[in-house]
Amino acid sequence: MRSLRFNTILLLSIVFIFLIPSNIFAFDGDILARLLKEEIRKSSINKEVNIGDIKFIGFSPNGNCLPEKLKIREIKRPNSVEFTFYCGTRQYRAIATYEILLTLYISQRNLKRGDVIAEEDILEIKKPSDKMPSGAIRNKNELIGKVVKRSISQGIILKQDHLYSGVPVKRGSHVQVLITSGKVTIMTDGVLKSDTTVGEMAKVQCFQTGKEIVGELVDKDKVRILL
């Protein structure tokens, strides 16, 4: 009877071992990826990174040992790194791909021409540096308070050419025109013929002559023309 009970317990133990998922004893690659991410981040001027495939050189760790003492041997441009680490008492070598992630901003709602961007209008996202669109704005301070130059749909990456570079003045606005020739300055009134920002060249139609002339919009209601 005692022998039968022992055999039964032994059989159940063997069955239990086979029923345990095999990955319970598998090496945890996520922990290794987190360690590697932190080391690359330190060597990349505190930039955030995303780890891709990890391939072991020679032996690969097995069992549930925890990776530690990770050390970068060489960063291979543009996007791979060779490193070593310990798992238990044994040292391993591996190579991994990675991406540097940069911050940019997208529109959280549809924006119309003339809208002033507020903080709740934008959303911060991360994107690999090699997929960063040209002109994308990465500094939130370059967005807040700026005026939208043309309509932008929700979810669009915000770029410099979406915004007015200075204070925008709309077409049809009345302005004072200062025409200077040498030491003589003539003042007259006119109207802007197109949207313009302060500091840029503007086309204006003079009320007195009816002619269109071009000068610098030096203030929101003043155009200076040098002859």
pLDDT in tens, 104-156: 999 999 999 888 899 999 999 999 888 888 899 999 998 998 888 889 999 99
Q: Could you tell me the two tokens for 205?
A: 């139609």
pLDDT of residue 154: 94
| Per-residue pLDDT, 195 | 82
Look up residue 110 and give its two tokens.
């549809």
- pLDDT of 159 above 70: yes
Q: Cα(85)–Cα(32) distance, rounded to whole angstroms?
A: 9
Task: Using alpha carbons, select from 146, 139, 144, 153 the residue that is nearest to residue 119.
Answer: 144
**pLDDT the model gives residue 124:** 94
Tell how strand 184-192 and strand 201-206 pair up. Answer: antiparallel
Which pair of structure tokens corresponds to residue 60?
């690969």
For strands 122-128 and 201-206, give the pairing: unpaired
- Plot region of 55 (φ>0 → left; ψ -120 to 50 → alpha; else → beta): beta
Class of domain 101-162: alpha beta
> Band of the pLDDT at 42, cuts 50, 70, 90?
confident
What is the helix, strand, coil percentage profile of the chain, to 5? 20, 45, 35
What are the CA-CA distances from residue 216 to residues 18, 142, 158, 195, 219 (Å)?
82, 24, 28, 13, 9
What's the DSSP call for residue 42?
H
Fold entry, domain 168-226: SH3 type barrels. (2.30.30)
d(CA 49, CA 110): 30
Residues of the chain within CATH 3.90.1210.10 domain(s) are 101-162
User: 9 with 16: CB under 8 angstroms?
Assistant: no
Using DSSP bridges, classify how beta strands 174-181 and 222-226 pair: parallel, antiparallel or unpaired.
parallel
HSE-CB for 73 with a 13 A CA cutoff: 10
- Locate CATH 2.30.30.760 in the chain: 168-226
